[in-house]
Amino acid sequence: MRPLHIAAALLIAAIWGLNFTVIRFGLDEFTPLAFAGWRFLFGALPVLILPRPKISWKALAGISLFLFTGQFVFLFFAMQAGLPPGLSSVLVQLQGPLTLVLAALFLRERATVGQWLGLGVAMVGVLVIARSVEGTTTLLAVGIALLSALSWATGNLFLREARGTSVIAVTAWASLLPPLPLLLAGALTDGISPTLAPLLAPTWRGWLVLFYTVVPAMWLCYWIWGTLLRTYPAAKVGPVSLLVPCCALTFAASLVGEPVSGLRLTGVIIVLGGVALGILASGRRSSVTKL
């Protein structure tokens, strides 16, 4: 990769890594449903200037429901239930191996032994992490985070139809569907005042969180990510995702004092090792296919 693109990839890892801690701060300002609803409402603003990407409404709805709504709503609820931001970033990375499983089950794609081995190793890491947490609430949060990863993996299957299209356009148009249902659900379950908190009880911290999760974390990073995918093979760009939890753990330790040591650190290393093994196996398979 060219030095400029390497720098761009590192910038993505840093922004997305910090995003998990920013989300933690955001959950002190908003309920999970309101946070997700407003995030996607602002995230959809580029549809005012961007044409609809040339993909089916079915694919767009699938991306919206699973890759966006499900992934982030489950993530927000997991973190609200006590899962720290750094650990959250590790668990959602299971979306990579889980995508392989779903593709094998529903699209009849054959996964390699290395890909299945990577999933197995990553799941062992999850079990180790589960043993490192204390209390039923945190164990529940781990389960919810795994649902976030599963929803992300499901959304990846729909995202395949968007290959060759503008990533930022897909992101904006897929963000159109979640806001109204999420805000209505928030109004029914949490009340109107908490749901409309950015308007009825605005705070500089709340608006700063919304700005960060939309402008750099969504618009800027997805634009850069799309540029890298158009320039290089996916197998070369994909490993960048492994830097995200590393950055997230560093930021979480620095900003909120999240401890990662002992059994939990062992679990984190095992999960990331399994994900890396799956990515490497996928890259080798792609190279063989091209040959």
Distance between CA atoms of residues 253 and 226, nearest Å = 30
Per-residue pLDDT tens over the stretch 142-166: 999 999 999 999 998 998 888 888 8
**Could you tell me the residue ranges of all domains in the chain?**
3-290
Average pLDDT over residues 168-192: 96
Percent of the chain with pLDDT over 90: 49
pLDDT band at 284 (very low <50, low <70, confident <90, very high): low
pLDDT above 80: residue 135: no
Residues in Cβ contact with 62 at an 8 Å cutoff, skipping those fewer than 6 apart: 154, 155, 157, 158
pLDDT above 90: residue 181: yes
The candidate with the shortest Cα–Cα distance to 258, out of 249, 267, 266, is 249
Asked whether 38 and 180 are in contact (CB, 8 A), the reply is no
Neighbours of 188 (CB within 10 A): 11
Percent of the chain with pLDDT over 70: 91
The secondary structure of residue 45, as a DSSP letter, is G
Asked whether 234 and 284 are in contact (CB, 8 A), the reply is no
Per-residue pLDDT tens over the stretch 22-34: 999 999 999 999 9
pLDDT at 146: 93
pLDDT at 59: 94
pLDDT at 291: 31
Compute CA 82 distance to the chain's CA centroid, rounded to the nearest angstrom. 18
Distance between CA atoms of residues 167 and 152, nearest Å = 16
pLDDT band at 78 (very low <50, low <70, confident <90, very high): very high
Among 66-80, 175-189, 192-206, 220-234, which stretch is predicted with the lowest mean pLDDT? 220-234
More confident position, 199 or 1: 199
pLDDT at 34: 97
The candidate with the shortest Cα–Cα distance to 20, out of 231, 250, 205, is 250
The secondary structure of residue 240, as a DSSP letter, is G
pLDDT at 136: 57
H helical segments located in the chain: 3-26, 32-43, 57-62, 71-80, 85-91, 95-106, 113-132, 136-159, 167-174, 179-190, 192-195, 197-200, 204-214, 221-231, 234-237, 243-255, 262-290
Average pLDDT over residues 57-69: 95
Neighbours of 229 (CB within 10 A): 16
Distance between CA atoms of residues 279 and 161, nearest Å = 21
Q: What are phi and psi of 79, to 5 degrees?
A: -70, -35
pLDDT band at 286 (very low <50, low <70, confident <90, very high): very low
